[in-house]
Amino acid sequence: MNKYLVNLKINNMPISVEEGTTILDAARQLNLRIPTLCHHPDLSVAGNCRVCVVEVKGARLLAASCATPVSEGMEVFTNSEKVRIARKHIVELLLTEHNADCTKCFKSGNCELQDLATEYRIGDHVFLDIVKPQSKIQDISSPSIVKDDSKCIRCQRCVRTCDELQGLTALAVTNKGDHQKISTFLNKPLNDVVCSTCGQCINRCPTGALTEHTNIEEVWNAIYDPSKFAVVQTAPATRIALGEDLGLTPGERVTGKMVSALKRLGFNKVLDTDFTADLTIMEEGTELLTRLKKILVEKDDSVKLPMMTSCSPGWIKFQEHMYPDLLENLSTCKSPQQMFGALAKTYYAEKINIKAQDMIVVSIMPCVAKKFECERSEMRDSGYQDVDFVLTTRELAMMIKQAGIDFNHIEEEHYDSILGESTGAAVIFGATGGVMEAALRTAYEIVTGREVPFTNLNIQPVRGMDGIKEASIKIKNVKPEWSFLEGVDLNVAIANGLANARKLMEKVKSGEANYHFIEIMGCPGGCLGGGGQPIPTSPEIRKKRAEAIYSEDANMPIRKSHENPEVVEVYEQFLGEPLGHKSHDLLHTHYRPRKRY
Amino acid sequence: MTTDLLVKELVDKNGKCRNSLMPILQGIVQKEHYLSEEAMLAVARELDLSAADVYGTASFYTFLDTVPRGQNIIRVCKTITCHMKGKDEIVNAICNHLKIKVGETTHDKKYTLLTANCLGWCHKGPVMLVNDDVYPDLTPDKALEIIQTYGKEE
């Protein structure tokens, strides 16, 4: 359908834009910035905060530019006297209901409301402060998310995030008028409701109403404690986003700088979750082939297909709540973070001659669900809590600032060995489709003895930011022991964001889909858009992070998990073989059904 | 009838789509006088909505209570005209008679006393609503008389 062009003037500047464009977007095309709070590029339009009001000639009232489409001959003023006064009053009124104790707020320095108040030089309140004292009691029940209603401005971005992107609606708008509140079911603690702990709400909260449950102080204590040996692991997606919180632009790769900064913070060893990402591929790839064999050859119907990935703890908790009848489809593999913890306190502790009880394992993750995951009772197979503390990418940036490290001028360093070697296949775990691509690179080669038939190993059909992707790969000329797979079309599907996961699960349940292997990442774009990543987030920012991930992969000397020399070594010296007895004890787990409503 | 059965019956009658949420909630309030946690969960399950979503809708509407209420709900108009015409005396009389405060329910669960925003009867204030019936031109005595007729019905 052809779009008509609409002519209008904004601040006396003429512009032609497509029919249906909002005044806000038209103004942006003219490089005019109109402030917004409830508006977010990932979400539907709400138009409830009103800070984006503009004057439209001939209209009696000011219009919310985010919710008003342009019309022919329209004359808009974004900074008239009327607009300025109204906008300042709107910010002042928002502040009357906001606990503006900024210096003590975790979000201070990265708060959209604070920025606006600063921009408009809001001084002493002209309106009465009406923050309810009882709203200052924070909900700290969740190991991942802290909710502070006294900071909430009811823009409802979190509600739209949980509903539109994540398909859960754990948070809803409740009550009305001056009692209106963003709340869980019956105001229950977040830990007791159907919440995936993905933290996407945190990424989109314009204030400090939703933040991560911070562990910075615990980690400093571990670093300073001379009786403890502090080991840190870094997730794939942290190295392409950390820079954003330290003055760099989205898409800059900072792997070497991050390693160097972690050493300067005082960690005894700086190791890589990418190593266990490679290990995950060995275990999960073998698990997939074993399931296929059991079903196709042994006709064993106790084994379930499609097999689904289990790296994303937000997705796992979602599945436990929403589709408990599909739990057996989940790979039994622990996530790379937890495989790392279990190996660190066994294999690695033995190698470096440190007692497991003296070791503190810290993870730097793009994720807040990982904070929940590390506390799960299933994750103690080393005899101790396998991973002690999880920090988000944002928290690491805070620690680097606290330590006075000049991140931009720091020398690049390498990960320590062992448990520090990785491949390109591991780093792409951070993007949606990455686990699938890494698994295919290895599984195809195990079965056929040849590399995957894609230029430079880049499996383009599984890449990209589409919510749901499908691909089919024909397996030909297999090795004799895999003859049952000759000519088989391996059908795979990939979803990112839990709302998309839900659509895919409905297809699986109805039997409409015929997949063998499904990769699900709980967050939009995969881990690179995780709930622990630098704020803000948008489709453009996530696209840049994805480009950085794939260029990191392309620049790695080894790009297939099974060729990681440290992975080969851990099987030779410790684990035996994938899905072997030791793997089963340390690297695999089970899941539990949780209530859906 | 159990709450689960009641919800199932209402869903059969009104359908499973999002639009059925309101009539279902109203149907529960009619029978049980309020929306219990159990009832809201049953509705969420039947309509496949999140429980928070159901609670969000329920808590928005004054007439969809989410805390236990008595068999008869008295709502005295508290807005300005009724206030000027003596709604305080009405409220006090009812409080003294029932031995409860505004917002409370009698021990025998027969009455709950609430205040309400404008009922649209400013010309005949003070006014109160008992369940779905409007009573204008009140005096304290008249109010008590009316209330007693509700007690007898049960």
Cα–Cα distance for residue pair A192/A366, rounded to 1 Å: 24
A514: in domain: yes
Per-residue pLDDT at B154: 47
B50–A185 C-beta distance less than 8 A: yes
Mean pLDDT computed over B78-86: 95
Per-residue pLDDT at A2: 66
Q: Are A330 and A308 in contact (CB under 8 A)?
A: yes
Omega prior to A69 cis, within 30 of 0? no
For A277-333, the pLDDT digits (tens) are 999 999 999 999 999 999 999 999 899 999 999 999 999 999 999 999 999 999 999
Q: Which of A65, A92, A119 is the last residue of a domain?
A: A92
CATH number assigned to the domain comprising residue A55: 3.10.20.740
User: How far away is chain A from the Cα of B12, in angstroms, using its nearest Cα?
Assistant: 20
Strands A229-234 and A468-474: unpaired
Q: Which residues on adjacent β-strands are paired with residue A74? A: A8
User: How far away is chain A from the Cα of B108, in angstroms, using its nearest Cα?
Assistant: 26
Nearest CA in chain A to B64: A175
Q: Are A106 and A208 in contact (CB under 8 A)?
A: yes
Strands A229-234 and A269-272: parallel
Q: What percent of chain A has pLDDT over 90?
A: 97
Structure tokens at A338: 């937890």
For B134-148, the pLDDT digits (tens) are 999 999 999 999 999
A186–B55 C-beta distance less than 8 A: yes
Q: Are A403 and A430 in contact (CB under 8 A)?
A: no
User: Mean pLDDT across chain A, nearest whole number?
Assistant: 96
Residues of A in contact with B51 (CB under 8 A): 185-186, 193-194, 597
A487: in domain: yes
Helical (H) or strand (E) element with A521: strand A517-521
Nearest CA in chain B to A168: B50
For A32-68, the pLDDT digits (tens) are 999 999 999 999 999 999 999 999 999 999 999 999 9
A186–B50 C-beta distance less than 8 A: no
Mean pLDDT computed over B5-28: 96
Interface A–B counts its CB contacts (< 8 A) at: 50
Per-residue pLDDT at B153: 53
Give yes or no for residue A233 having a pLDDT over 90. yes
Q: In sequence order, which residues have a C-beta less than 8 Å from that of residue A409 and are 6 or more positions away?
A: none
A535: in domain: no
Are residues A156 and A88 located together in one domain of the fold?
no
Per-residue pLDDT at A3: 76
Cα–Cα distance for residue pair B112/B101, rounded to 1 Å: 9
CA dihedral A364, A367, A373, A375 (to 10 degrees): 60
A157: in domain: yes
- Considering only the beta carbons, identify the residue of B37, B40, B52 that sits closest to A169: B52
Per-residue pLDDT at A192: 97
Nearest CA in chain A to B36: A186
A15: in domain: yes
A222: in domain: no
Of the pLDDT bands very low, low, confident and very high (cuts 50, 70, 90), residue A1 is low
Chosen for mutation from B34, B59, B61, B65 (greatest number of chain A CBs closer than 10 Å) is B59
CATH number assigned to the domain comprising residue A164: 3.30.70.20
Mean pLDDT computed over A519-543: 98
- Considering only the beta carbons, identify the residue of B37, B50, B60 that sits closest to A175: B60
A198: in domain: yes
Q: Which of A212, A244, A275 is the last residue of a domain?
A: A212
Q: Phi and psi of B123, rounded to 5°?
A: -70, -15
Give yes or no for residue A123 having a pLDDT over 90. no
Q: Phi and psi of A475, rounded to 5°?
A: -100, 120
Interface contact A68, partner B, CB < 8 A: no
A186–B66 C-beta distance less than 8 A: yes
Check whether domain B3-60 has CATH 1.10.540, yes or no: no
Interface contact A188, partner B, CB < 8 A: no
Q: Smallest Cα–Cα separation from A290: which of A421, A184, A446, A494?
A: A446
Mean pLDDT computed over A362-382: 97
Q: What percent of chain A has pLDDT over 70?
A: 100
Per-residue pLDDT at B1: 80
- Rg of the Cα trace of chain B? 17
User: How far away is chain A from the Cα of B142, in angstroms, using its nearest Cα?
Assistant: 33
Give yes or no for residue A221 having a pLDDT over 90. yes
Q: How far is Cα of residue B142 from the mean position of the Cα atoms in its chain?
A: 21
Chosen for mutation from A186, A318, A505 (greatest number of chain B CBs closer than 10 Å) is A186
Per-residue pLDDT at A125: 72
Structure tokens at A458: 């880049």
Per-residue pLDDT at A69: 97
Of the pLDDT bands very low, low, confident and very high (cuts 50, 70, 90), residue A369 is very high
User: How far away is chain A from the Cα of B61, in angstroms, using its nearest Cα?
Assistant: 8
The residue assigned the tokens 């900074």 is A79
> What is the number of domains present in chain A?
3
Are residues A579 and A449 located together in one domain of the fold?
yes
As to burial, measured by CB atoms within 10 angstroms (0-12 exposed, 13-18 middle, 19+ buried), residue A386 is buried
Are residues A477 and A574 located together in one domain of the fold?
yes
Q: Phi and psi of B97, rounded to 5°?
A: -70, -45
A486: in domain: yes
Mean pLDDT computed over A574-583: 96
Q: Smallest Cα–Cα separation from A369: which of A310, A308, A436, A322?
A: A310
Helical (H) or strand (E) element with A363: strand A359-365
- For the annotated catalytic residues of A, the residue numbers are 284, 287, 311, 331, 370, 373, 378, 527
Query: What is the domain partition of chain B in residue ranges?
Result: 3-60, 72-153
Are residues A568 and A450 located together in one domain of the fold?
yes
B51–A175 C-beta distance less than 8 A: no
Which residues does B contribute to its contact with A (CB < 8 Å)? 37, 40-41, 44-45, 49-56, 59-60, 66
Residues of A in contact with B18 (CB under 8 A): none
Mean pLDDT computed over A4-14: 96
> Of chain A residues 147-176, which have a CB less than 8 A from chain B?
168-176
Give yes or no for residue A479 having a pLDDT over 80. yes
Q: Which of A197, A212, A227 is the last residue of a domain?
A: A212
If one looks up domain B72-153 in CATH, what number appears?
Answer: 3.40.30.10
Largest CA distance in chain A: 81
Are residues A302 and A445 located together in one domain of the fold?
yes
A175–B53 C-beta distance less than 8 A: no
Are residues A319 and A457 located together in one domain of the fold?
yes
Task: Say whether A392 sits in a helix, a strand or coil.
Answer: strand
B52–A170 C-beta distance less than 8 A: yes
- Considering only the beta carbons, identify the residue of A175, A186, A194 that sits closest to B50: A194
Mean pLDDT computed over A522-534: 98
Mean pLDDT computed over A79-95: 96
Q: What percent of chain B has pLDDT over 90?
A: 96
How does A438-448 read in b/e, with b if 16+ C-beta sit within 10 Å? bbbbbbbbbbb
Which residues span the domain enclosing A306?
287-333+431-530+555-587
Of the pLDDT bands very low, low, confident and very high (cuts 50, 70, 90), residue A10 is very high
